[in-house]
A and B are shown apart, each in its own frame.
Chain A
Amino acid sequence: MAAIQVVRSEWTKIRSVASTVWTLSLAVVVTIALGMLISALSKNDFDRMSRGDRLSFDPTFISFAGMSLGQLAMIVFGVLVVSNEYSTGMIRTSLAAVPQRATFLISKIAVATGLALVVGLVTSFVTFFLGQAMLGEHKASIGDTGVLRAVIGGGIYMTLIAMFSMGVAAMLRSPMLSLGILMPFFFLISNILGNVSATKKIGRFLPDQAGSKIMQVVTPIDDDTPYGPWGGLGIMALWVLAALVGGYVLLKKRDA
């Protein structure tokens, strides 16, 4: 009963601020546009590729290339949904109205997650079809083995990124601090760790690297990743769980 009220209230909150629309539409536009661009470039590049590269050419994964930037907008969405409460001081009013802090946090995250999932899935399907259209003769079909899994997985990936950000923001409270850590982490540090051979073994257990495995259909030839697509998504889900539990524990314990 109480939870339904809180969910309704959180829905009102989320739809009544401009930042929701802005961050989510930015995520959609950037992901789709960049995916199309890179798909088009890859198509032109295909004929000059080495044989090995051609063998591991993954049209599905290429159409999701925009997610590396689009996920940043998802991060901003996740961070703002939670930290807006703190930066405005609204958290005091909210918690005075809902003294059950677990109900409050779970409802808030549930509403934002639901919205992110819808937006993520739509983005994923649109970016797949438009990306394939750009790829021309090298395109994959939605009916091919593993493709539907990759496309749905892409939507789930974006949702999990947003959830992870919500958990981090619930722990850190400040939007500036949360963004200042999450943005460089996902845009730079994770990529560097994942591409330098010495740190590759650690880097691939980071949430975005593990999670993005779900969008791969063709496994690269020399790939020795110890987990499959669902395993990778599972690793990412564990990260998300850890962040959310951390956020909840701190919210429960701390003075508002």
Chain B
Amino acid sequence: MIEAVGLTKRYGDKTAVYNLSFQVRPGTVTGFLGPNGSGKSTTMRMILGLDNPTSGQVTIGGYPYRRLPNAPRQVGALLDAKAVHGGRAARNHLLCLAQLSGIPARRVDEVLGVVGLQDVAKRRSKGFSLGMGQRLGIAAALLGDPQVLLFDEPVNGLDPEGILWVRNLMKALAAEGRTVFVSSHLMSEMAVTADHLIVIGRGQLLADMSIKDFISANSADFARVRTPDTEPQLREKLSSALTEAGGHVLPEQDGALRVTGLPLPRISDIAHDSDVRLWELSPHQASLEEAYMRMTQGAVDYRSTIDQKAGLMQPLPPGAQPPMPVPGQGQPDWYAPPPPQQGGQPFADGQRFAGAPGQPTAGPYAAPAPAPGAAPAAGGSPNPYAQAAPQPAAPNSVPSSDLTKPEDAR
């Protein structure tokens, strides 16, 4: 159990952390989120007694870290994977850490095996990739078989296999009743790893709640409704009928409607009553990423702007369209749920948005090429949408995002 009470840290006149109070409980994975520069790493350093708080205190199991008996056997931490002497072999690095806390050398070989570095144990860590460095850092955290574990950005630079491994490791550690405190910027990873969230922005606590509560408190679910493209009057008709029934209707770029305030069956009933056929009626559940963006939008210190490329722009060839701005650059609303892809195959994308609760969607900035898998994805059942998207000889390929979304509607 990690407990912070009124934790404050000032560097000169800059306040890095202000009046932070939270508890990290054993038995769950607690995610620690916040924009760059929000004070996550400072907080972690204060937990480990490396930085002294200006005021307030943080304790582990009731003790401030520096007075914790046999601290390295109780707490393991990965703060910075690059914080190793590049000229020292991986095994020696772990060995000197093990000796610091009186851990036998046998344990070093064990953790090297756990993180999969046994083959490079004798190699200098200088030549390690970012992912190998992360594994070495995780090995160091696991050395003392501690009850409390802190990980600062553990999955940075890891390959997909490594990310999956870290995710399962965190869950396994928490399931054994340990306290696991993880910071990350990868929302999709957090969504499937953490049970509880602590969100800070500009050094202050923004949220301390379960991940489910966090998502529902910070974003609104909506339904996407599509009427036949060929009959625009149906769209108007449905739109006014839904508004009358108390729904809130927003048109989307490609002609679909975004409806909030009405449950899906009710939308279907209204459409039926007003004699409007539907091409699509899909639930859209907000992702952790959207919820996070919405919550922290006011607390972001470093925000990108549109690259004006003044003086660098090539004159466009005649007839060419100026490029669409990249979502996320200088657009305050970019966290909003993205419209489906333009032209053709609305369902291929829409289906993906209808992911499981808390699952991040593949946003427009990660939109894959129009998926040829619309028909196969229907799982052999007659596909009512086939006419909307004339299929090429589509291979039975499944969108790559399937790994994280096994329960995708099929």
A-side residues, CB < 8 A to B, are 1-2, 5-6, 8-10, 12-13, 16-19, 84, 88-90, 92-100, 255-256
Contact = CB atoms under 8 A, between A and B. Distances in A.
A97 B87 contact: no
Contact of A256 (B51, B82, B86, B99): B51
Nearest to B86: A88
B48 interface: yes
B82 A18 contact: no
Given A8-B99, A9-B98, A88-B85, 4 more contacts: A12-B92, A88-B83, A96-B48, A97-B101
Residue among A84, A92, A93 with the highest chain B CB neighbour number at 10 A: A93
Contacts of A93: 77, 79, 83, 97, 140
B281 interface: no
14 contacts: A9-B97, A9-B98, A10-B96, A13-B85, A16-B88, A88-B82, A89-B82, A90-B83, A90-B85, A92-B79, A93-B97, A95-B49, A99-B71, A256-B50
Contact of A92 (B50, B52, B68, B87): B50
B100 A6 contact: yes
Contacts of A256: 45, 50-51
A12 B93 CA distance: 8
Given A12-B92, A13-B96, A96 B49 contact: yes
B99 A5 contact: yes
A92 B80 contact: yes
A168 B270 CA distance: 79
A89 B72 contact: no
A6 B48 CA distance: 18
A109 to B, nearest CB: 16
A5 B68 contact: no
B18 interface: no
A98 B140 CA distance: 14
B89 A16 contact: yes
Interface in B265-316: none
Given A16-B88, A97-B101, A92 B96 contact: no
B65 interface: yes
B201 to A, nearest CB: 22
B17 interface: no
B149 to A, nearest CB: 12
B95 interface: yes
A25 B87 CA distance: 18
B102 to A, nearest CB: 5
Nearest to B125: A88
A168 B80 CA distance: 26
A198 B52 CA distance: 47
6 interchain residue pairs of minimum CB distance? A89-B83, A9-B99, A16-B92, A255-B51, A12-B96, A256-B50
B122 to A, nearest CB: 11
Interface in B334-350: none
A84 B52 CA distance: 23
Nearest to B78: A93
A9 B100 contact: yes
Nearest to A13: B96
A8 B103 CA distance: 11
A88 B49 CA distance: 19
Contacts of B97: 9, 93-94, 97
A2 to B, nearest CB: 8
B88 A96 contact: no
A5 B87 contact: no
Contact of B66 (A8, A18, A89, A99): A99
Contacts of B49: 95-96, 99
Contact of A255 (B52, B83, B140): B52
B180 interface: no
B172 interface: no
Nearest to A85: B85
A5 B77 CA distance: 19
Nearest to A94: B100
Nearest to A5: B102
A248 B97 CA distance: 21
Interface in B49-86: 49-52, 65-68, 71-72, 75, 77, 79-80, 82-86
